[in-house]
Structure 1
């Protein structure tokens, strides 16, 4: 799938905010993911973005090409996302830990896709 730079940035940032919020919930009381993101230093944000980008970007690029009309977001089935994750994860997806890793990455990619901006001309 061909995404614009802006779409990829929004997708990775949204997934990173989710990961940062999930990491902080165990340490502190529940916070909004935006508050947690704002509380991170620039270096901490970079580290989270780097880690999440390494997991999400290859999957987004492995998704099949679809025609996206103007004013809508790209949509993919669970099977398409799972296949793209399985393709990019390779042999690490075997066994119980591999299945957990695949499920976690599918959820992360789903979060990234849900926050993509609408396509514009």
Structure 2
């Protein structure tokens, strides 16, 4: 829950413009020429939702553990075995899996993953 402030709960700092002390939250410093009402209004304004940060890469360990957690390791390794030598080598030898990699995107498409599901996979893998 976000704290809502009331201008009546502030007192000005003596001889220092644009600074006020809140009864419980402490010192607030406004911009030059800013009024207390403007400052309180800004603090009470709804804050925009923060967009989640989707990792662009995960380690081999994180990737494989996430495959295990999703019950996909055998499926993915079976699919990899049917692919060309470069794809097999990339899967076997990569220390890092990069979300935007073409081969990786082809693998996710073969699994039926849409962009949101790939985002979820990378987000969960990064937490391992």
Task: Give the structure-2-normalised TM-score.
Answer: 0.27
Query: Which protein has greater RCO, CA pairs closer than 8 Å, 6+ apart?
Result: 1
Point out the structure with the larger strand share.
2
Task: Give the structure-1-normalised TM-score.
Answer: 0.27
The structure having more radius of gyration, on CA atoms, is: 2
